[in-house]
Amino acid sequence: MTAYRITEADGTDPDTAYLLRHFNALEPSWPILEPSHMHRGYWWLIYADSSRAGCGCTSMDRSHCREQDCDFAHPKRVGFCGMVPMTPFESVGFMKRCWVAPEHRGNNLQLRCLAIREQKAKRLGWRQVVSETTSVQSAGNFIKAGYVPILPEQPWGPEGSMYFQKAL
């Protein structure tokens, strides 16, 4: 059985930024993540852990452990999510992205990502979060998580976008 964990990542770290941009590019309709997104935003990586045996390490890099002594199935990165301040509005966050590898969808990872980002937004003192999607599946998850559909005065997403907000 696969266990998943979602870990906050430093978007300003060059390796992390590269990985986030790589995942982002897997969804062709999404704009490129700019350096300002990495510096202003908050980012998480989704890991699939198939085993917790052996040395117990959590590093993606096996160099710290001797191969023959490590039974740990090093975790595989299977997605990411992000959140940025909704400029120019104070105390409002924008759920920037959430992407999960197709073979790992259906495991409530998007809902878990929403919850983790909401917790962070509350710690930051934000009073609400908003998002936009063109995905019917994502729209369903927003509704399950308590988001309310809205019609913004100035829509910012592509044609067919659905918009959501949630008070925190």
In tens, the pLDDT along 139-152 reads: 999 999 999 999 99
68-86 burial code (b ≥16 CB/10 A, e <16): eebebebbebbbbbbbbbb
The answer to whether the CB of 6 falls within 8 A of the CB of 113 is yes
Token pair of 106 as six digits: 């259906």
Total number of residues shown for the chain: 168
Mean pLDDT of 48-72: 50
Token pair of 136 as six digits: 């019917």
Q: Mean pLDDT score of the chain, rounded to an integer?
A: 87
Q: Is the pLDDT of residue 55 over 80?
A: no
* Per-residue pLDDT at 87: 87
Instruction: Give the residue with greater pLDDT, 59 vs 83.
Output: 83
Mean pLDDT of 127-146: 97
Q: Is the pLDDT of residue 113 over 80?
A: yes
Lowest mean pLDDT among 69-73, 92-96, 102-106, 160-164: 69-73
* Per-residue pLDDT at 76: 87
**Phi, psi for residue 35 in degrees, rounded to 5:** -55, -35
Quote the CA–CA distance of 129 and 165 in Å, as a whole number: 6
Question: In terms of C-beta density within 10 A (0-12 exposed, 13-18 middle, 19 or more buried), how is residue 92 classed?
Answer: middle
Mean pLDDT of 154-166: 94
Quote the CA–CA distance of 64 and 140 in Å, as a whole number: 42
Q: Is the pLDDT of residue 17 over 80?
A: yes
pTM for this structure?
Answer: 0.84
